[in-house]
Structure 1
């Protein structure tokens, strides 16, 4: 980043537990060379916006349904990111299909956290508790979380980090969701942000490589 801090935007639809993990790990020095410039939500009542305000971070609500078409929504998203000089976009529980224009403008500069080991239990319709319900219905003994770069397909794109989490015999979707967040998501998302900020992640032929 040429000595300058990496500026990130965090996009969230709900409570923002992953956002809080990022804020905490910037504050304690786990994530270095990084600042959150803006938090964007598609829901005006998302608690993530409150978390941002409490941390002194710009908080913006951009709702797709407020725009006549996807192009206008895409333009507003891109304009907001450019206004804040964003280097990296972090999708942390963002339940909106990212506009193609935004993907093109920020190729290999948008990352997403997904609560399973991609390519299992992912794609259209797999979000929130639905992912963990699918894991339990399949009888998986191991699940986890994945951080990946975003491309034009849902829950697709070069994988940066993954962490496995054991499935226990008496798990409910809610219990499993909490364990995956605590053991995997809240650790590997901050780690990926730190690695990217340090310039250690390179995408070659569709594969993300991490410098040792």
Structure 2
């Protein structure tokens, strides 16, 4: 079983999707070994504690440089013995050193169908605002490996979600979470931890 550490910054809804999937027996190859938050008081920490998962806070503001913060994140991942890392609403772009240390071992869930509405600055509600402004009729979510390009790593899974008349960014965000993100993330993590993606390059 692979040890998985989840990086969070906020409410932790995608973390909860993993916790629930584990409880349902849908993550037989993954152990949720730890949760690391970039913010004190993130509700995701409460979700982890309730599920009995160890937590650690590595606040971004405590580190003078990006390089120092990356070193701190690597140290936290090593303390938890991370085999794989999941970015679940982690509002910080990991530096090259972290990505290199965990090459093809970090996965991220993005609330759009990459390559649409992705890249620097495209996170949270910004993604759904952009989708509505552009007038797309279909959006969705993508789980992908993390590389040195924001949202640029190999796609693992995608799922489409319809945009409905009268959608607000908040309403669309919720539908994409429920119908795509929370479904895809556990599936993708199991694919990766079970070794089923080893042949994919």
- Asked whether the two chains share a fold, i.e. TM above 0.5, the reply is yes
Choose from 31, 36, 39 the match for 1:35. Answer: 31
Match of 2:121 in 1: 125
Q: Gaps spanning 5+ residues in structure 1: where?
A: 208-212
Tell me the TM-score normalized by structure 2: 0.97
The 5-angstrom pairing of residues 114-193 of structure 1 reads: 114-193=110-189
The question of 1:15 aligning with 2:22 is answered no
Query: 1-side partners of 2:192 and 2:17: how far apart?
Result: 17
C-alpha RMSD over aligned residues: 1.0
Q: Contact 1:158–1:203 (CA<8 Å) still a contact in 2?
A: no
Query: 1-side partners of 2:44 and 2:52: how far apart?
Result: 12
Query: 2-side partners of 1:170 and 1:52: how far apart?
Result: 35
Q: Gaps spanning 5+ residues in structure 2: where?
A: none
Tell me the TM-score normalized by structure 1: 0.92
Cα distance per residue 1:43-81 (max 9 Å; x no partner): 101100111111111111111220122222111111111
The question of 1:95 aligning with 2:108 is answered no
Match of 1:48 in 2: 44
Match of 1:81 in 2: 77
Secondary structure in structure 2 of the residue aligned to 1:10: strand
Match of 2:65 in 1: 69
Secondary structure in structure 2 of the residue aligned to 1:202: coil
Q: Contact 2:12–2:88 (CA<8 Å) still a contact in 1?
A: yes
Cα distance per residue 1:184-212 (max 9 Å; x no partner): 000100000111111001365xx4xxxxx
Secondary structure in structure 2 of the residue aligned to 1:144: strand
